[in-house]
């Protein structure tokens, strides 16, 4: 029943295009996974061929059409809106000359890496251990370990030990990680002088 309602909403006539059902079911499943637990996301991605280490936090389901070309180390956090792209679609512009070809590249992420919101990771990218990727960055190429990487195109802007020092100097660094939402709210309101 729910599937019929969804199909009616998006106005698809399955009797004329039966392959659309498979596509629609996959899209509905991905919508479900976006809201599912971290464990369910990781299990699904591993079944698709993504190599994922231990203790990872995944808040995206955009792992390209070739997810088996992606390797993620241990202790990696990936924020919402981040996309992994393992192919170069621009070869389309040369199809008359080159024929029916495509270009692909692996993506390898080291251990203890953090991705901010809405990053794009392009083919042939290798990110070393202990890196921080700033929100909105477009990443392509090889990046050394212990780097803070930001921008479009992404560049190493400083070492993670400098970022750690900056965090330790920040007056808004607060111990809230294990607090409930209500406890966290109290701490933040007090810290920022909000009644």
pLDDT at 74 over 50: yes
Domain count, the chain: 2
CATH code assigned at 172: 2.160.10.10
- Rounded Cα distance between 147 and 84, Å, is 20
- Same structural domain, 30 and 43: no
- Same structural domain, 31 and 127: no
- Same structural domain, 81 and 154: yes
Give the domain range for residue 78. 38-191
- Same structural domain, 74 and 101: yes
Please, are residues 85 and 120 in contact by the beta-carbon 8 Å criterion? yes
- Same structural domain, 132 and 52: yes
- Binned at pLDDT 50, 70 and 90, residue 123 comes out as very high
pLDDT at 128 over 50: yes
- Binned at pLDDT 50, 70 and 90, residue 3 comes out as low
- Same structural domain, 23 and 58: no
- Same structural domain, 132 and 79: yes
- Same structural domain, 55 and 10: no
DSSP string, 104-149: B--EEE-SS-EE-TT-EE-SSEEE-SS-EE-TT-EE-SEE-SSEEE
- Rounded Cα distance between 70 and 59, Å, is 16
- What pLDDT score was predicted for residue 1? 46
- Same structural domain, 116 and 28: no
- Same structural domain, 82 and 27: no
Please, are residues 63 and 70 in contact by the beta-carbon 8 Å criterion? yes
- Binned at pLDDT 50, 70 and 90, residue 5 comes out as low
- Rounded Cα distance between 62 and 110, Å, is 19
């Amino acid at each position: 029943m729910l599937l019929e309602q969804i199909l009616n909403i998006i106005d698809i006539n399955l009797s004329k295009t039966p392959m659309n059902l498979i596509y629609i079911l996959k899209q509905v499943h991905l919508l479900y996974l976006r809201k599912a637990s971290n464990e369910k996301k990781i299990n699904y991605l591993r079944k698709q061929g993504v190599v994922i280490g231990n203790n990872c936090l995944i808040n995206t389901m955009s792992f390209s059409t070739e997810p088996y070309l992606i390797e993620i180390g241990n202790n990696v956090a990936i924020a919402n809106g981040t996309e992994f792209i393992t192919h170069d679609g621009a070869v389309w512009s040369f199809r008359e000359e080159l024929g029916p070809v495509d270009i692909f590249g692996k993506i390898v992420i080291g251990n203890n890496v953090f991705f901010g919101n809405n990053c794009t990771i392009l083919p042939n990218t290798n990110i070393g251990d202990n890196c921080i990727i700033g929100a909105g960055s477009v990443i392509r190429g090889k990046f050394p370990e212990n780097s803070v990487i930001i921008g479009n195109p992404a560049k190493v802007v400083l070492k993670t030990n400098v970022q750690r020092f900056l965090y330790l100097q920040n007056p808004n660094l607060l111990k809230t990680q294990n607090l409930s939402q209500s406890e966290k709210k109290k701490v933040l309101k007090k810290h920022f002088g909000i009644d």
